Amino acid sequence: MEKELAFFDKIRTVTPYTPGEQPKNQNVIKLNTNENPYPPSPKVQKVLEAFEAGVLRKYPDPLCTELIDALSKEYGVSKDRIFVGVGSDDVLAMSFLTFFNSKKPIVFPDITYSFYDVWADVFRIPYEMIPLKDDFTINTEAFVNTDCGGVVIPNPNAPTGVILETSAIEEIIKAHQDSVVIIDEAYVDFGGRSVLPLIDKYENLLVVQTFSKSRSLAGSRIGFAFGSEKLIKYLSDVKFSFNSYTMDSITQKIGAAALSDKEYFTETTKKIVKTREYFKKEVSKLGFTFPDSMSNFVFIHHDQYNAKDLFAALKENNIFVRYFDKPRINDYLRVTIGTKEDMDKILAFLSEYTK
Ligand code: PMP
């Protein structure tokens, strides 16, 4: 342990988020961070090839005009209701800082994206976790009836992949019109339904999405949010009080190019959904169970095999999945959906392991 410093009491200390491992060895089957197994659209490659380094002499456009225009066109939302950030992690962090400034605790599920409590801690936001039901579904009633300073719910939830119906989300938004409700839709393109249309009805709703999963751009770091003009204005004010130039010039162009290729987006997300359904069917034949996932990962459990041991055995064989050593989920593994070939390899391993 590091020796405590004389000025320790003046330091903002926090236990950081632990991201999934990015192994140096390229010869692994990487199913641990919910990345897309397919490359980004060929239009992204073209942007990179045509990009002139001279552009980097100047600061990037702080308003990300080209990207916001592309998002506005693609999603049919006016530009003043769109915010972009360096990955949805950035969008969410800025949103926590902007919207959760009350003494009342914010609420989120007990089993969820493990960055939420880290942001709450670092920004000194009080929070409470509302337990998921035993089947890992969100307890809508508990979310409706809580007295809180804000709400965050991922839909589909992570690491479970379970979706919450639009009607239930609307009930929660309606019940908390005096606070901001953030719906984190990082995985919505794999079969969920976005609550984006509800931003016309509720000023307190912020819908957050990302290019990291369904648009194969985790490495570029592009996230975005839709909300009422007022919410977006407050969010932008906080962002511009930190750093005006967060998204670089190349990334802004790459994002716009990816959005322009709807065909590729539809084709690759469809392939992932098809592979996910195949994986669900095959893995259940081996005795694994899982909550029904509508995302690009499946949260598997086996009554006879310890998840931590299986995680280690998989890793030993160069197959990386994600294990969370946390109450209620420490006997599950989150397996990202890769290519059909990737899934056949992990299935072959699991079949041997469970023989
Ligand atoms: N929300 C959820 C639920 C996630 O799982 C992730 C991915 N780790 C993110 C947000 C952040 O993704 P990104 O910053 O790559 O957009």
Task: Give the per-residue pLDDT at 24.
Answer: 87
Q: Which atom of ligand 1 is nearest to 210's Cα?
A: 16
Pocket test for ligand 1, best of 32, 86, 89 (most atoms within 8 A of CB): 89
Q: Mind giving me the DSSP string for 228-285?
A: -HHHHHHHHHHHTTT-S--S-HHHHHHHHHHHH-HHHHHHHHHHHHHHHHHHHHHHHH
Q: What is the pTM of this model?
A: 0.97
**Region 30-35: what's the mean pLDDT?**
98
Any ligand 1 atom below 6 A from CB of 87: yes
Span 243-264, pLDDT tens digits = 999 999 999 999 999 999 999 9
Any ligand 1 atom below 6 A from CB of 113: yes
Any ligand 1 atom below 6 A from CB of 246: no
Task: Give the per-residue pLDDT at 180.
Answer: 98
Question: Which residue has 């939830």 as its token pair?
Answer: 157
Q: Mind giving me the DSSP string for 131-158?
A: PPPTTS---HHHHHH---SEEEEESS-T
Pocket test for ligand 1, best of 88, 157, 207, 334 (most atoms within 8 A of CB): 88
Span 90-148, pLDDT tens digits = 999 999 999 999 999 999 999 999 999 999 999 999 999 999 999 999 999 999 999 99
Any ligand 1 atom below 6 A from CB of 95: no
| Per-residue CA distances from 213 to 5, 190, 338 (Å) | 41, 9, 11
Is the pLDDT assigned to residue 151 strictly greater than 60? yes
Tell me the pLDDT band of 25, cut-offs 50, 70 and 90. confident
Span 287-329, pLDDT tens digits = 999 999 999 999 999 999 999 999 999 999 999 999 999 999 9
Tell me the pLDDT band of 203, cut-offs 50, 70 and 90. very high
Any ligand 1 atom below 6 A from CB of 212: yes
Pocket test for ligand 1, best of 92, 113, 185, 188 (most atoms within 8 A of CB): 113
User: Which helix or strand (DSSP H or E) is residue 107 part of?
Assistant: strand 106-109
Task: Give the per-residue pLDDT at 3.
Answer: 65
Is the pLDDT assigned to residue 156 strictly greater than 80? yes
Report the separation in Å between the CA atom of 88 and the middle of ligand 1, taken as the mean of its atom positions. 6
Report the separation in Å between the CA atom of 244 and the middle of ligand 1, taken as the mean of its atom positions. 22
* Residue 42 to residue 263: CA distance in whole angstroms: 11
Report the separation in Å between the CA atom of 294 and the middle of ligand 1, taken as the mean of its atom positions. 15
Is the pLDDT assigned to residue 2 strictly greater than 70? no
Span 52-62, pLDDT tens digits = 999 999 999 99
Q: Which of 105, 205, 84, 200 has its CA nearest to residue 155?
A: 205
Q: Which atom of ligand 1 is nearest to 212's Cα?
A: 15
Q: What is the residue-averaged pLDDT of the chain?
A: 97
Alpha helices in the chain (DSSP H): 42-50, 65-75, 87-99, 116-122, 140-145, 166-175, 229-239, 249-260, 262-285, 307-316, 340-353
Pocket test for ligand 1, best of 33, 212, 222 (most atoms within 8 A of CB): 212
Task: Give the per-residue pLDDT at 315.
Answer: 97
- The percentage of the chain sitting over the pLDDT mark of 90, rounded to a whole number, equals 96
Residue nearest to atom 12 of ligand 1 (CA): 88
Tell me the pLDDT band of 160, cut-offs 50, 70 and 90. very high
Tokens encoding 165: 């119906």
